[in-house]
Amino acid sequence: MNLTTSEKIEKVFEKYFQKNISLTIKDEQIKRGKFLLIKNCIIGNNYYFELTIERVKKLDLVRIPYPFEIEEYPEDNLLFLDYRLSSLFKNNKKLLNEMNQWCNTEADLKASNKMFNNILEVKFE
């Protein structure tokens, strides 16, 4: 059975309810706390999943765009959400090169989203 990206993410995250979670990009920790809830979210034309994370006497909502690729390492309680263009266009090198050239000229695109062309590391404890 082929699962959608949304189903894959929900299936992985449901195993870790009430566990501590940390979200990291390029060795920079974005958020850390206790994972409480996941839900799908549509804002305009953008699809996200939203995590509710409990921090010291505070609940944070973290919106995360759906990744191009997902890699799970259950033995390490680790999940990689891949937002690299090379993952999106892995079967089309010509289009990948064109997108890389275009994105290099679009500084606003890179600045608007930390996950652009990166991997989000999700670690559960």
pTM value surpassing 0.85: no
Please return the burial class of 48, using the count of CB atoms within 10 Å of its CB with bins 0-12, 13-18 and 19+. Answer: middle
pLDDT digits (tens, 9 = 90+) for 88-124: 667 767 766 666 665 655 554 554 577 777 899 999 9
Domain count within the chain: 1
Q: 92 φ, ψ to 5°?
A: -145, 85
Per-10-residue mean pLDDT, the chain, length 125: 84 93 94 95 86 94 91 95 77 66 56 74 96
SS3 label, residue 18: coil
What residues make up the domain containing 65?
5-124
